[in-house]
Structure formats: C-alpha cells, structure tokens
Structure 1
Amino acid sequence: MVPKFFKNFMRNDPTDNSDSINKEKKSGNLFFNAKEVTDFSSQYGGEETLSYTACNLAGRGSVFPMYGDYTQACVFRTYGEWWDIAPSRKKPFSRTPPSFCSQDYIELLFEQKVHPTKIEIFETFNPGCVVKILACQTSEDTNVDTGHKITRWKTLWEGPPDKAEQRSRSFSPSLKPCDFPTNLIRLELCHKLVNYYTELDSVALHGRTPTEEDKKEADGMTQMVKQMDKLEVKSETESNKKKGDVTIRNVPTEPSDDSPQCDNGYFDKLPEEVIQLILGFLDVLSLCRVACTSRLLYKHSYDSLQYTELNLQPHWPQVNSVALDSLHSRSLFLQRLNLSWCHQNIVTETSFCRYINVCGKNLRDLYLSSCSFVTKASIHQISEACPKLKELDIGSCKMIGKNGFEDISKLKHLERLNLYRTDIRQSEILGIIRSCPNLQHLNLGSVHGVHNMDEVMTALSEHTAHLKSLDLWRNHNVTSAGIHALANCTKLEELDIGWCNNVKSQSQCLIAIIKNCLNLKKLFLTANRTVTDTDLLTLAEYSSLMEQLDILGNRLVNADTAEKVLQKCVNLNFFDVSFCAGIDNYTVQQWKQQFPHVAVKKSFQDRQ
C-alpha cells in the first residue's frame, strides 16, 4: 500500500479526469488515469520520497513524451542480467514454466469499474519490459475460508519482453475481451533485455460503462463465483476426510480399480526411473494434467519425489487454500518452495501454516516475497516447522508488522535472509544475527525500523564470519562507523551502500573495506557524493576480482582515475558512471571501444 505520506504530496490530482472523461463519453467509452498504486514488488526510490517511486504511476503523467532518466517516473529495483550474475544471486528453480518471465509487478486502482477496451502504458525510458496485463474481478460476497472478498484475476494480454526502440512510447497492446467490469489492473514486467532501468510515466484505462445487461450477467457471475467458492470449500473438506488430492483449479481423480484398463504404449516398457526422469521436466500444472491421462502416469505424477522443488509463483492467480491442502501428500520430501506474490484474499495464512507444518521438516529454501498473507503467525510457524531452513525470502511482506520477526532467530542454519522493505526492528535483527552464525547473504534494503544500523554492522562483524553479500540500499541509518566495523567481514564479495547518505569517504571507511575485503566482486556506491579519486585508486590496486561497480551521481572522481579502474580490474563487466560530473559522454564512448567487455552505463535526460 502507498503510505499516507504520499497521498498528501502527489504531483497531480489522480481524480481530476473530467476533461478526458467528457471527451470519451461521446464515443461511449470512459478514460481514467490510475487513482492509486495499491501494491508493488520493488522500487528504485525510497519509502520516504517521491523520486523514482512506484506511486509516481498514479495520476496524470509529467514526463511523456520526453525520453530519459527522470525522477518523476516509476522505476523498479533491477534491470538486465547483472543481479542474476552477482554473488548474491539465488539458485533458479529448475521446473519453472518457460512462458513465465515476470520479475516485478505493480497494481493500479482506477476511479470507476469499466469493461477494459484499451490500456495505455506510457514508457519514457528503456521500453519493452511489460510482459503481462491482468484485470481483477472482485465479488461482493466474501470467501468463507479467507474472510476476504472473492477475487479472480484474468490475463488481458501477455507477451515476451521486447528490445524496443530507444524512445518514449505509448504501449497499448490488443486486449482479450473482459466479461466483467474492473477498476484494478496489474502490470507484470521482465527487465532482462534492457540495458538500463525501465521507467513508466503513467497508465490510462479506457473502457465502457456496464449496461443493465452487463449487470445481470455480473449478478449471474457473482452467483457462479459464489458456488465455485462453496465447491472449493467442499472439496477441501472432502480431501481432508478422504486424504485425497486436489490440483490447482482441477481435480484429477485416480482411475478406479474397476475402470477399463488402458494401453500406456511404450511407457509400460520403460523403467520407473526413466518415467520419473521424463516427468521431472514438467512444472506442477503440467504434472496435474498428466495425472489425468492414465493410472500409470497418475502414480508417477503424484510421487513425492517429483515435488522436492515446487515453484508456485508462476501460478499465483490459481494458488488458493484448496490447492495448498491438495499438495500435502505430495510434499513430504519438499526442499525448495516458492510462493512469492500470492495474495491473502486467495491464500489464507491458516492454510499456509497447515501446509508448512506438513512439508517443513525437509525444507531448505522458502521464498515468500510480496506475500500479503504472511504475518507474525506465519513466521512463528516457519520457525517451528522448518528446522533445516537455510534460505528465507520475505521481502516486501508488509503485513508482518512490528515485532513479528523475533522467531526467525530460531532458524539456526539460516544462510540467506531477505528483509527488503520490511518493518523489522533493531532488537529483532540483532537477535537473528547473533543466533545465525552461518549467515552469508543479508538484504536490509529500504529497512527503516532499525535506528542504530551501526550496531547491526558491528554485530555482523562479530558473529557472521561467512558473510558474502550485504544489501543496505537506501538505508539512512548506517554511518561511516558501521562500514568501518563491516571491514572485519573479510569474506565479503558484494556490498550495496547505494543512497546511504551518512556514509562519508573522508572517514576512510571505504578504503578499509577495499583493503580488508579482497574478495569483493560487486560494490555499489550509488549517489555517494563523497567518493574520491583516492578511493578508486585504492580499489584499482586491491580489488582485482571486482566485476560490478556503481559510482552513479559522483561529483569528485575524474575520468583519468576511473579509467585506471577499467585498466586494473580485468574482471570488470559493469561500470555505472551516470550523472558523474567529471565523466562526459565522449569519454564513455571511448571506453566502450577500448574496453568492449565492460558495460559502461551513462544515463541521460533528453527532450523531444
């Protein structure tokens, strides 16, 4: 949700669409800009500012048709391949559907419900990242299981990411007909093909108002959705009684003993190990479909060994409480689970806790990024049921609230913890650090509930000898003293202190990090205006393994010193010098020719 602070400082009044609405009424359509950003997965900007934040997508745009890097735009946290090849990268799930490539999402609320006829997305920097557009249908009835209004999502358009022409554009793909009115639209994005951050200025929804006939159909749809909800609850009850299985939105039934025997073709001649290997290439939805074809494939599709990894993020609109209950008997050997992006009005915390209680014994990796059903109770259940857990991602889980993280300290084997945009308190993070000596990767980006981050840095230096990556993005509570203490983590390979305004180079803290942490491969000093030539010369001398370096916004470093880094750091493949006053575009072009293996980034603003 967008903080109340933002609502008082919106750059435009998002409800002021009267002129546009009057024009559209003549053609029978209405036109709206987004009224509010209700949810998003990440943002480049901070929680306390408007620059580069997701809430900039609400209201009328202020950048289009200009092209370039503007603070008034909506910008997400990552782009390209760089975060996927950094030391902090996560191991991908092997059975992800090839069609799923979404990395970020944003949900937009509009003033009035309409049948969408057109959606315009105004892209003003590095376009081509939107890969899916969805509409939300909300029934007036409540789900008896979740306690929330019954929700369904429909995909209006989807396509692969595109290397589009480098200019601003209004992206308006052809939409599938939408048989219900909506005022909640979701965009999903994939940034892998763009060379720098994608930026969105505004989104416009065109649609026709519901007619009386539409309202009758909607009433019928509401009753049907209500009946479906009852059927799901009934299926859940029956499955608990019979210990049966229910798939996502489908109920494959094992062939009965008296059903006609069928010929399984060459599958009957294959060893069971080979059949298991073949089915191992299928995602969970495909396994459910295969299970419907024959008794033989049903047996193999429901084998628990097929469910050591379970990636449900690509299927988040279909994952509900019934689906989780149906997976109990198949998840006895589950080691990796991804439920990221699942909504509380579809999945209940009770069903999640019930599932974790069944499958958590062998679970090593658990990803719950942007899961709105996760609260303090979920964290407690995870700590009790998952004794072997090594990786936990609860980034952007805003419903955990204050004082909900304490139980994480019970996970003694934890190696990776993502707390991006959470409300964790100082005592809680200190308890976790002191209890988890194997911690290797920690994300504290945009965490503002810790008032003395230097104490946290000291705790890391004393208790986490194996720390490899630390993300402190936009953490204003860390100072030079904390970074000095961090220099004792000599195995550090990645450090992001971008937009940490209280870290000052003159304290020699950066030099201490560079000299002590000789394994550094990624160092982001984004918007640190105090970095000097001396810091970069020290880096060129000591950081022979450096691969990614960001000094965006620096005012003191000159081009000759930056070139020495390019010459000495032979493994360097990424160098962001955007908005560096001492490095001009001509120099950057020369570097690109002289060092073709390095992606030198130089952002810009252009007017058309």
Structure 2
Amino acid sequence: MSLFPDYLLATIDFITTLVHRCPKLEALNLSHCVSVCDTCVKIISDELHSLRRLNLDGVLWITDSGLLHLADSKAVHNGSLNSIWLDGFELSNSGLNEFIIRLDYATKRLSGDVDDIIYSETGHHVFGIQQLWISFCDHIEDEAIKSIANLSTLVALTLRKTHQVTPVGLSSLFITSFNHLDHQLNLRYLEHLDLSEAPGLNDSVVMDICNCCGNRLRFLTLNWCWEVTDIGVNQIIEVCNSLHQLSLIGNSTIQGRAFSEIPLKVPHLIILNLTQCNHIVDNVLEDLAVKMPNLYVFDFFGERVGGELDDICHFDVSRALGKVPICTD
C-alpha cells in the first residue's frame, strides 16, 4: 500500500517522467501546482543538474525537508541554479536559515570571495543565486534574514509578509555595522526589491536600503509598509535615480510632496503606484502627470492620473507585473 494518496502519486509520476525525458531542462515553473510535494522536489534536485530557474511559489506543502534537498542539489553545487521562487507557508525559520547557509556555502566554494566575482554587465558568468522570491514569510525571524544578507550575488529579492522580522533584522539585509564608524554594505547589487507587508520596515530601514543599493535599484515595492513616512519617501526620490517602478500601495501616512522632484531626480520612472494611499496631495500627482505624460501614476482608486476612460488601471499593471518570467529574455 502506498504512503501517498492517489493525487500525489500522479504528480510524482509526472515529475519522474518529466525529468527523465528532459534531463537538460533549464527552467521549470510549478507555481501553484498544489500537489507538488517534498518527494517531487527531491526528484527534481537529484535529476535536473542543468536547472537554472525553479518556481515553487504557491506550492504550499513543501517543507524544510524538500528545501534542504534543493540546497544539496547538483544544480546548486555546480553553480547552475540562479533563480528560486518559494512559498514560505510551511517553512520554519530554522529550516530556511539552514537552506540559505547551504546556498551561501555552495556559492563561496565555487567563486571564492564575492568581491572577486565579475558581474553580468561584463558578460561573464556569475555563480550563485541571483534571484530569490519568498512569499508568505510569516514564520521567518531575524536569524534567517541575516543569513540572506550573505547571498551577495542577489540581483532580485522578494520577501513578503515578514511579520516577525524587526527593523534591525530588515536593516541587516543591507548594512552590517561593526561600530559607529565601520560598516559593511551587504546586498549592494540589488536591482529589484520587494519587501511588501513588512511591519518592521520603517524610515531607518529605507535609509539603509538607499545607502546600500539605492542607486542601482530599478524596481522598488514597499506595499502596505505603514511605518514608512515622507522622510523615507524623500530619501528614495533623492537617491534612487535609476528607478523604473516605485510601488507604495496602502501607505496611509505619506503626502508625497517629494514626488514633484521626480522629473529631475528619477527621470526613468515608468510606474508610480499609490493605490490606497489616502493622504497624497492630489495636485502634486496632477502636475507630475502633466510634466511626464509617459509616466503611469496611479491614485488612491488605482486609476491613472490624467488618463482616459479606457486607460489601463492599477489592476491591469499588477496582473502584468505579477507574471513570473521563468525564462530569461
């Protein structure tokens, strides 16, 4: 008698067939395939040595066991796997921490000191995880967050719902202070950052983000981060001059007067999403829409400021941007 119910057996059989028929598979998207389990992850980890991108977001029943199989996979240890999407629903803080430690060890073993790595703009290969996405980080605490700071090759990081992480923990992603004069910048190569629904994310954390990687960031999402005030927004506009998208959905504090400086200081901005931000000064957004007609500014209702009746709305953009690019350009 099988230990697995029929629906899991069918999925395990499918994954087994897939890896045997496509052993050189480089990208695998299993997002929201709810019958994928730890056994499936073990099969993938054992067989797909060339895997570069693996999406397990929305796969609720993967536990620490499956995650550690992935960390010990050939694709991690040969430097092939560079992008991982996970759902943190069933992951413990200790399990995720151990996973990150093993990823970091594999990267260091392959490439040595990260300062010696030649980054992608030169056309050379970069070993290690470059994109990490974890939704539902409800069980994650400061310990695991501090381990993520060691993944210095990260270019894109998403950590949503870090409800148990303190401001100190979030700041540790970006700056490690040894004393009041000596500090280290951690994730300084980030270009995409999403820390939505982080109660501990305040202006001090925003300052550390800006000081660490602000001038490289192209996409910054701080939705439902209620502790961010105009002080933090001012710093973002002042420092993050490469931004293409800034999303601050659900912030009920900011007035956004600094947005008037966007044409001069953030000239490449394409999307400014202020849906459910109920204290924004309307005429600032109206003037901004006039000065930058190609900029999509979304107001409290999620409608485009200065747009036509048939223009796209916030929900259209969210759906488009929410699609995970499992394959590279």
- TM-score bin, normalised by smaller chain: 0.7 to 0.9
Q: Does 1:367 align with 2:70?
A: no
| Large movers: runs of 4+ above 6 Å | none
One-letter amino acid matched to 1:440: V
CA 401–571 in structure 1, closer or farther in 2 if over 3 Å, else same:
same
Matching residue of 1:531: 254
Alignment of 1:312-351 (within 5 A): 320-344=11-35, 347-351=36-40
Matching residue of 2:159: 444
Q: Does 1:483 align with 2:198?
A: no
Question: After superposition, what is the alpha-carbon deviation per residue over 1:125-180, rounded to whole angstroms, capped at 9, x for unaligned?
Answer: xxxxxxxxxxxxxxxxxx7142x4x449xxxxxxxxxxxxxxxxxxxxxxxxxxxx
Matching residue of 1:469: 192
2:72 corresponds, among 375, 384, 389, to: 384
Please report how far the alpha carbon of residue 598 of structure 1 lies from its aligned counterpart in structure 2 after TM superposition. 6.7
CA 329–457 in structure 1, closer or farther in 2 if over 3 Å, else same:
closer
One-letter amino acid matched to 2:102: K
Question: After superposition, what is the alpha-carbon deviation per residue over 1:25-73, rounded to whole angstroms, capped at 9, x for unaligned?
Answer: xxxxxxxxxxxxxxxxxxxxxxxxxxxxxxxxxxxxxxxxxxxxxxxxx
Matching residue of 2:147: 431
Contact 1:545/1:571 (CA < 8 Å) preserved in 2? no
Contact 2:174/2:188 (CA < 8 Å) preserved in 1? no
Any idea what SS the aligned residue of 1:417 has? strand
Matching residue of 1:352: 41
Contact 2:233/2:256 (CA < 8 Å) preserved in 1? no
Any idea what SS the aligned residue of 1:443 has? strand
Alignment of 1:271-286 (within 5 A): none
Aligned partners of 1:479, 1:457: CA distance in 2, in Å?
Answer: 14
Aligned partners of 2:243, 2:40: CA distance in 1, in Å?
Answer: 42
Contact 1:476/1:502 (CA < 8 Å) preserved in 2? yes
CA 438–569 in structure 1, closer or farther in 2 if over 3 Å, else same:
farther
Aligned partners of 1:324, 1:600: CA distance in 2, in Å?
Answer: 38
One-letter amino acid matched to 1:337: L
CA 329–592 in structure 1, closer or farther in 2 if over 3 Å, else same:
closer
Aligned partners of 1:500, 1:542: CA distance in 2, in Å?
Answer: 23
One-letter amino acid matched to 2:260: L
Q: Does 1:514 align with 2:237?
A: yes
One-letter amino acid matched to 1:144: S
Aligned partners of 1:479, 1:601: CA distance in 2, in Å?
Answer: 25
One-letter amino acid matched to 2:100: I
TM-score in terms of structure 1 length: 0.42
One-letter amino acid matched to 1:437: S
Contact 1:457/1:482 (CA < 8 Å) preserved in 2? no
Please report how far the alpha carbon of residue 431 of structure 1 lies from its aligned counterpart in structure 2 after TM superposition. 0.9
CA 381–491 in structure 1, closer or farther in 2 if over 3 Å, else same:
same
Aligned partners of 2:273, 2:291: CA distance in 1, in Å?
Answer: 16
CA 324–504 in structure 1, closer or farther in 2 if over 3 Å, else same:
same
Matching residue of 2:223: 498
Please report how far the alpha carbon of residue 592 of structure 1 lies from its aligned counterpart in structure 2 after TM superposition. 2.3
Contact 1:575/1:601 (CA < 8 Å) preserved in 2? no
Alignment of 1:505-584 (within 5 A): 505=230, 508-572=231-295, 574-579=296-301
Matching residue of 2:86: 394
Matching residue of 1:420: 135
Contact 2:135/2:159 (CA < 8 Å) preserved in 1? yes
Alpha carbon RMSD of aligned pairs, Å?
2.9
CA 389–500 in structure 1, closer or farther in 2 if over 3 Å, else same:
same
CA 444–352 in structure 1, closer or farther in 2 if over 3 Å, else same:
closer
Any idea what SS the aligned residue of 1:352 has? helix
Please report how far the alpha carbon of residue 599 of structure 1 lies from its aligned counterpart in structure 2 after TM superposition. 4.1
Structure 1 unmatched ranges of 5 or more: 1-142, 153-228, 230-318, 603-608
Contact 1:321/1:352 (CA < 8 Å) preserved in 2? no
Please report how far the alpha carbon of residue 533 of structure 1 lies from its aligned counterpart in structure 2 after TM superposition. 4.7
Question: After superposition, what is the alpha-carbon deviation per residue over 1:423-458, rounded to whole angstroms, capped at 9, x for unaligned?
Answer: 322211221221x21211111122223233442353
Aligned partners of 2:255, 2:294: CA distance in 1, in Å?
Answer: 22
Aligned partners of 2:89, 2:269: CA distance in 1, in Å?
Answer: 34
Contact 1:414/1:438 (CA < 8 Å) preserved in 2? yes
One-letter amino acid matched to 1:394: L
Please report how far the alpha carbon of residue 597 of structure 1 lies from its aligned counterpart in structure 2 after TM superposition. 10
Aligned partners of 2:289, 2:310: CA distance in 1, in Å?
Answer: 10
Larger strand fraction of residues: 1
Question: After superposition, what is the alpha-carbon deviation per residue over 1:286-315, rounded to whole angstroms, capped at 9, x for unaligned?
Answer: xxxxxxxxxxxxxxxxxxxxxxxxxxxxxx
Matching residue of 1:128: none
Please report how far the alpha carbon of residue 348 of structure 1 lies from its aligned counterpart in structure 2 after TM superposition. 4.3
